[in-house]
Amino acid sequence: MAVLGTPTPIIRATDDGERRWFHGGGTHTWKATAEDTGGAFLLFEMALDQGKATPLHTHPDSDETMYVLDGEILVHIDGREHRVGPRGLASAPRGVPHAFAVVSEVAHVLCLHTPGCCQAFYWDASEPVTDDHPGSGLVDFDRVRASAQKNGGIEILGPPPFTRP
């Protein structure tokens, strides 16, 4: 990863940004990287299928904010579950255990990490979408856990905590 410096102006159209298959499930389109923002934040769009669920986790050094563009997710935060639909927002301050699951057929969610210190975790737990690798595949939580151990940025606390589908 490049050394962080001065933020640069960013203009990205709808389909612009590096596309990466995340081994926890879903395709990420990176809209603003930590390098772009001088480390201030990381912003990516997630294209997710029904049933995608994250383990219970925390980000010790960053706040995670999710803005639902379309679809619906179930967010577990602070021991409670909340449905979040289009134009809804969920924010987990650093250190607060949380998880989410996609309950609609598909969902598109903007994910913002402030600051952008989680980028190395997401990078190593994903791979570029190419003609040979179209942005789908088997979930590989071993790779996700290995990236968490190597890069920090996330602490996996346990399995998905959801009590209802």
pLDDT digit string, tens, across residues 138-160: 788 889 999 999 999 999 999 99
Token pair, residue 10, equals: 């960013």
What architecture is domain 27-155?
Sandwich (2.60)
Give me 41's structure tokens.
Answer: 């934040």
For position 5, what pLDDT does the model report?
77
- With a cut of 90, say whether residue 77 has pLDDT above it: yes
Q: What is the pLDDT of residue 2?
A: 47
Q: With contact defined as beta carbons under 8 Å apart, do 121 and 143 qualify? A: no
Total-model pTM: 0.92
Q: Is residue 68 over pLDDT 90?
A: yes
Q: Name residues whose C-beta falls within 8 Å of residue 157's C-beta, 6 or more positions apart in sequence.
A: 55, 56, 57, 58, 97
The chain-wide mean pLDDT, for the chain, equals: 92
Q: Specify the pLDDT at position 135.
A: 64
Task: Grade residue 52 by pLDDT with cuts at 50, 70 and 90.
Answer: very high
- In Å, what is the CA distance from 85 to each residue of 20, 108, 110, 130? 24, 10, 12, 30
Residues 95, 97, 98: CA angle, nearest 5 degrees? 125
147 phi, psi to nearest 5 deg: -65, -40
From 43, 54, 60, 53, select the one nearest 96 (Cα to Cα): 60
pLDDT of residue 26: 93
